[in-house]
């Protein structure tokens, strides 16, 4: 990653923060973007302390103008883009019959349209460098998860978009990777939306049993270096993807029973 320019959305916490430090320590020049200016500055201080050259750009990926500005400021500062890491995301936890449709719109705006906007305006520069577009997705992009209809929809859409882009640019040297962590101890779980759009607060899962953000970041970095196509990061995730293709009915039952075991699950 030496002298590569890496843009990371959702860079103020969790996987985004960990990726910023991992890519920076590997020699990259890192651009971090997020809505929370204070947290972004704190990550910037960590990067500076690690000797990483960085740029922090406050912005909301659901707003096209903010994504345009992110790309423009990156190019003004560093002159190129080598990696567009679409990490910004938000989750939800509610039954579809109960959820306010505005919650699903919000998830699509951030998870799907945020990826589309950033990739669209970064693409001319990525084609010049034969760089990488990375989407941080989820098993929810392969298998619909009950209680997370909007999240699954946004990740299916992201993966379809990136898969089509990969095929379109097949002979132009662009690397496209879909990275699917398992359940991760990151801020996305605490900021997941409930049925009425309010933040869920504390995660219903035991964070001690999850992947750490640092583990996810190390795998994304290695996948970028190797120009991997897809990365499903846990054995449970790989099994789910495999079964969903060959035994979809069984997979639905297994996933339902698994999600039913969550504390305060809406499934009885």
Residues with a known catalytic role = 151
Q: Are 18 and 43 contacting, i.e. CB atoms less than 8 angstroms apart?
A: no
Q: Where are the alpha helices (DSSP H) in 108-209?
A: 114-129, 149-168, 187-190
Taking a C-beta distance cutoff of 8 angstroms, is the pair 221, 22 a contact? Answer: yes
Rounded CA gap, 185 and 242, in Å? 24
DSSP state of 207: G
- Write out the DSSP string of 136-151: E--GGGTSPPTT-HHH
Q: How far apart are CA 60 and CA 113, in angstroms?
A: 11
Query: CA triplet 261, 89, 197: central angle to 5 degrees?
Result: 70
């Amino acid at each position: 990653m030496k002298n590569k320019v890496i843009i990371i959305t959702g860079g103020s916490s969790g996987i985004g923060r960990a990726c910023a430090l991992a890519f920076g320590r590997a020699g990259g020049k890192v651009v971090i973007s997020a809505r929370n200016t204070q947290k972004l500055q704190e990550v910037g201080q960590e990067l500076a302390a690690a000797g990483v050259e960085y740029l922090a750009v406050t912005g909301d990926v659901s707003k096209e103008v903010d994504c345009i500005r992110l790309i423009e400021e990156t190019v003004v500062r560093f002159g190129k883009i080598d990696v567009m890491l679409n990490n910004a995301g938000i989750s939800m936890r509610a039954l579809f019959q109960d959820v306010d449709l505005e919650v699903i719109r919000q998830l699509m705006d951030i998870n799907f349209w945020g990826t589309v906007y950033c990739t669209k305006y970064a693409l001319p520069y990525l084609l010049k460098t034969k760089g990488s577009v990375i989407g941080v997705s989820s098993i929810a992009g392969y298998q619909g998860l009950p209680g997370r209809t909007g999240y699954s929809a946004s990740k299916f859409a992201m993966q379809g978009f990136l898969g089509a882009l990969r095929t379109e640019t097949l002979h132009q040297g662009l690397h496209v990777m879909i990275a699917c962590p398992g359940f991760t101890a990151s801020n996305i779980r605490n900021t997941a939306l409930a049925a009425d759009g309010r933040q869920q607060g504390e995660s219903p899962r035991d964070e001690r049993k999850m992947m750490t953000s640092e583990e996810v970041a190390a795998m994304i970095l290695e996948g970028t270096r190797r120009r991997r196509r897809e990365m499903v990061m846990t054995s449970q995730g790989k099994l789910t993807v495999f079964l969903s293709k060959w035994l979809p009915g069984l997979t639905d039952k297994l996933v339902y029973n698994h999600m039913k075991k969550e504390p305060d699950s809406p499934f009885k």
